[in-house]
Structure 1
Amino acid sequence: MTFQQVSEPYDAYDVLVVGGSGVDTIVSVGALPVPLADSYAVPPVREGAGHTGTGVALGCAALGLTTGFVDFLGDDHPGSLVRERLAGTGVDFRPLISPHGTRRAVNLVAADGRRMSFYDGRDPADLRMPPEHYLPPLRRARHVHLSIMHFARFLYDDIEALGIPVSTDLHDWDGLTDHHREFALRSDLVFLSTAGAGERIGSVMREILHEGRAQAVIATAGAGGAYLLTTEDRTPRLVPPAVPPGPVVDSNGAGDAFTCGFLYGRLAGRDLDECARLGAVAGAYACTSPGTHTRLAGPEDLRPARTAPSAAGATAPPADGPRPAGPPDARVSPAGA
């Protein structure tokens, strides 16, 4: 296997994103789930760069954070779409060329903004990123965000040795699948959605906090807001949903935007509650344009942080109670979008 290094790192990064680039094919459907049929007529199918690492890198850069991004990318047409999307955004993208090609996903998006993703990860289990590629930018980073690519787990020892805080997004983890567990227990900030664990989300959050090194666990719940659990909490607390600045048309990338808003606050020294509110605003902002990562919040869009009137002052239900009402994050892919 041969790889190609194509860029040099910046002097320093606020955030270094590892893994999670790819291309999304967006198919608009009337509603989810789609009833079984031989074929459907749909609006024009859209294709463009997406996936979770791309979204976090773009979102952090849009918020003014100096952002690096290391990953594997195919020398193919989808790979060129990723490069084109990142060009000129301020993201220092340093890909290694993999013969296995660029990751893909087909996302069905309903009229209410919900989505379901079919993910083609294509990285083989033995894929590893050479230390000489990731160590130079890692040593320059204030914070590292690991996408849950298999190869990324092998960076934890170096990250811990350097004493750099690390975050990850488990997406729709059910609390059981082994692939996610190391990411859950070795990260300082852990994001996930309520979609996978359902009514067990409270116990999953507590397990991450009590068995791992996390300072906070954040579970996003679509239009229902999010839950925040810190080392000072006994049960998760509700983070009210933010008021979107326009109609909700597509939830692709909302979870990534939430992560960016949260990290923006954290790197600015804000407390965890304020970070979660900033995440909610950034996530709501992302839902107001079609496609993935097509509308990115800037610092001015995060202030003031408005919350939905119906949720203001609300308290979280019992930790293992029902999920909040509203469109779920219907991700089925390990990497999200």
Structure 2
Amino acid sequence: MTSDTDVLVLGGAGVDTVVHVPELPLAFADSYMIRPGITARAGQSGDFVALGLTALGLRTHHLDMIGDDTEGDLVRALHRDHGIPLTAIPQPAGTKRAVNLVGPDGRRLSLYDDTRSTASDRLPEATVRELAAASRHAHVVITPPCAQALPLLREAGLTLSTDLHDWDGADPYHEPFALEADLVFLSATALADPERTLRDIAARGRARIVVATAGAQGAHLLADGELIHVPPAEPPAPVVDSNGAGDAFASGFLFGWLNGEDPRRCARYGAIAGAHACTVPSTRTDVITRTELLARAARPESPAATPAAVEEGDRALIPGLD
């Protein structure tokens, strides 16, 4: 069966207001003078995954609930400018938005506006079924409307991926996503024992591949029961912002996986894409291209870390690079 779309991305469309601060955590003060300024731009998790996949040559379609507001206009313009098909379901509560505080070392603190959603939010069943029928794979962002769509995607026979972000391995909200996906990404930042969490996801759910990114320490890859440490990729320029690094990793990994690559190779692609994202200021939405990714992947890899090095890396996780 032929498909019009390689990856259907569900959820995660929104606008971030980026504020550069002198330090994180930010000390209390009456006011701060901010340079290089305060910028609002479209680009949350689903947006960044869709951008990354498109730049890597995968036919991508984005589906989410978006408001009839200024933020929604920014989201629609982002997709239009990059040639990404967008199906926007009206969201009366408004388009998702957040404030990102970015420190001098590139770490970030995100503040999400929780008023931009309601418990009754749903992606229309007929729309999900129609788009799923024309797609090879679905990447599902962990928002409530997307949780409701999981059974429909399964019925359509799609493979699924998701990103649990900074899940602690216990919060029940994340479990439907973790257990229904064939490929699970998450950050190791909040995990006391990454290996235990990865193996628990694989044992209780459908996933044959689970990846916990660990910032500058690389990533933990569980593939068909084997745990592998993935070395970090060398950033091509100074690190300025970690925003979008995890989404870039997922995009690079999916590029390899959907092209039948070995999981180790997929993780190498993910690491390269994530490292590239850390060199892009959060006020921009530049992503690595297919040509750049393949050229960097052709260079010799760093030697794999020893088990002792992995353990040391777990103690030295860099918050935000996830």
Asked if the contact 1:194–1:220 (Cα under 8 Å) also holds between the matched residues in 2, the reply is: yes
Alignment pair present for 1:219 and 2:212: yes
Residue by residue over 1:42-97, the C-alpha shift from the partner in whole angstroms, topping out at 9 and shown as x without a partner, is 11101100110000011101111000011000100011111111113121101011
**Counterpart in 2 of 1:89?**
82
Gaps of 5+ in 2: none
Q: Which has the higher helix share?
A: 2
Map 1:216-255 → 2, pairs under 5 A: 216-233=209-226, 236-255=227-246
Asked if the contact 2:242–2:321 (Cα under 8 Å) also holds between the matched residues in 1, the reply is: no
Task: Give, in angstroms, the shift of residue 315 of structure 1.
Answer: 2.6
**Counterpart in 1 of 2:25?**
33
Task: Give, in angstroms, the shift of residue 308 of structure 1.
Answer: 9.8
- For residues 59 and 21 of structure 2, the distance between their equivalents in structure 1, rounded to whole angstroms, comes to 37
- For residues 38 and 283 of structure 2, the distance between their equivalents in structure 1, rounded to whole angstroms, comes to 13
Task: Give, in angstroms, the shift of residue 313 of structure 1.
Answer: 2.8
SS in 2 for 1:64: coil
Asked if the contact 2:202–2:210 (Cα under 8 Å) also holds between the matched residues in 1, the reply is: yes
Task: Give, in angstroms, the shift of residue 176 of structure 1.
Answer: 1.2
Residue by residue over 1:244-277, the C-alpha shift from the partner in whole angstroms, topping out at 9 and shown as x without a partner, is 1111111110100000000000111101110000
Residue by residue over 1:258-302, the C-alpha shift from the partner in whole angstroms, topping out at 9 and shown as x without a partner, is 000000001111011100000000011111121166221111111
Higher relative contact order (CA 8 A, sep 6+): 1
SS in 2 for 1:88: helix
Asked if the contact 2:128–2:153 (Cα under 8 Å) also holds between the matched residues in 1, the reply is: no
Identify the match of residue 16 of structure 1 among 8, 33, 48: 8
- For residues 181 and 53 of structure 1, the distance between their equivalents in structure 2, rounded to whole angstroms, comes to 19
Task: Give, in angstroms, the shift of residue 130 of structure 1.
Answer: 1.1
- For residues 283 and 166 of structure 2, the distance between their equivalents in structure 1, rounded to whole angstroms, comes to 18
Residue by residue over 1:114-162, the C-alpha shift from the partner in whole angstroms, topping out at 9 and shown as x without a partner, is 1111112421111111112221111011110000011111122122222
Identify the match of residue 164 of structure 1 among 158, 168, 189: 158
**Counterpart in 2 of 1:184?**
178
- For residues 227 and 296 of structure 1, the distance between their equivalents in structure 2, rounded to whole angstroms, comes to 23
Asked if the contact 2:99–2:110 (Cα under 8 Å) also holds between the matched residues in 1, the reply is: yes
Identify the match of residue 269 of structure 1 among 260, 279, 283: 260
SS in 1 for 2:119: coil
Asked if the contact 1:247–1:288 (Cα under 8 Å) also holds between the matched residues in 2, the reply is: yes
- For residues 163 and 56 of structure 2, the distance between their equivalents in structure 1, rounded to whole angstroms, comes to 19
Alignment pair present for 1:52 and 2:45: yes
Identity rate, percent: 45
- For residues 205 and 132 of structure 1, the distance between their equivalents in structure 2, rounded to whole angstroms, comes to 34
TM-score, scaled to structure 2: 0.93
Task: Give, in angstroms, the shift of residue 231 of structure 1.
Answer: 2.1
Task: Give, in angstroms, the shift of residue 319 of structure 1.
Answer: 8.0
**Counterpart in 2 of 1:71?**
64
Asked if the contact 1:286–1:297 (Cα under 8 Å) also holds between the matched residues in 2, the reply is: yes
**Counterpart in 2 of 1:6?**
none
SS in 1 for 2:297: coil
Task: Give, in angstroms, the shift of residue 232 of structure 1.
Answer: 2.8
- For residues 257 and 142 of structure 2, the distance between their equivalents in structure 1, rounded to whole angstroms, comes to 21
TM-score, scaled to structure 1: 0.89
Distance change (3 Å), C-alpha of 1:167 and 1:119 = same
Distance change (3 Å), C-alpha of 1:19 and 1:245 = same
- For residues 321 and 262 of structure 2, the distance between their equivalents in structure 1, rounded to whole angstroms, comes to 29
CA RMSD of aligned residues (A): 2.1
Residue by residue over 1:164-195, the C-alpha shift from the partner in whole angstroms, topping out at 9 and shown as x without a partner, is 10000000000111110110011000000011
Identify the match of residue 144 of structure 2 among 150, 168, 172: 150
Asked if the contact 2:100–2:110 (Cα under 8 Å) also holds between the matched residues in 1, the reply is: yes
